[in-house]
Amino acid sequence: MAFLLELVPALALGLLLGRRWPWLAARLAAPLVTWGVPFSVMGLLLRSGLDWRSGQVALLALLAVACGLLLVRRRLPSPVEQLGAVVGNTAYFGIPAVLALLPAQAVAYAISYDLAATLFTWSLGPLLLGASPCGRSPCCRP
């Protein structure tokens, strides 16, 4: 109930601001995604606490992503689909689901998984997708 008491006024304020200044959402979206999501994820991680098990979860995430890529390699035709099938977007779906359905101690594990999968995607993803030396993927045409 306390969650709704915080959520409803914030949504109402957003609705009023959007009706008054419709262009405001377009101007705020990019900074909120660029800065708001990483800060909120790190805030959740710091709030739930870090311990040695978070590192174990991160290593498990890397192992799960690597094994998943090996399993879908022959089933999905393009590298983009392979990487997308294995590395979901846990920051936008998994973490809210953990907050809603699991105890507070599980948040650190979900965030550890998300950080490891994100690092894997952004570090090895271009190699898996076959990026050329100029940094462009062969599937991207100018």
- Per-residue tokens: 30: 């990019």
What band does 83 get if pLDDT is binned at 50, 70 and 90? confident
Q: List, as own/partner pairs, every contact residues 22-29 make where C-beta atoms lie below 8 angstroms and the sequence separation is at least 24, other chains included.
A: none
Average pLDDT over residues 102-128: 79
Residue type, 138: P
Burial of 98 (C-beta count, 10 Å sphere; 0-12/13-18/19+): buried
Which of 59, 115, 66 lies closest to 91 in space, CA to CA? 115
- For 90-106, write each residue's pLDDT tens digit: 667 777 788 888 887 78
Is residue 88 within 8 A of residue 94, CB to CB? The reply is yes
How many other C-beta atoms lie within 10 A of the C-beta of residue 119?
15
pLDDT score recorded for residue 55: 78
0.75 exceeded by pTM: no
pLDDT higher than 60, residue 25:
yes
Confidence of residue 16 (pLDDT cuts 50, 70, 90): very high
58 close to 115: Cβ distance less than 8 angstroms: yes
Percent of the chain residues past pLDDT 70, beyond the cut: 84
CA distances from 32 to 39, 98, 126, 142 (A): 10, 22, 26, 29
pLDDT tens digits for 28-80?
888 877 787 777 777 777 777 777 777 788 788 788 878 887 888 778 878 77
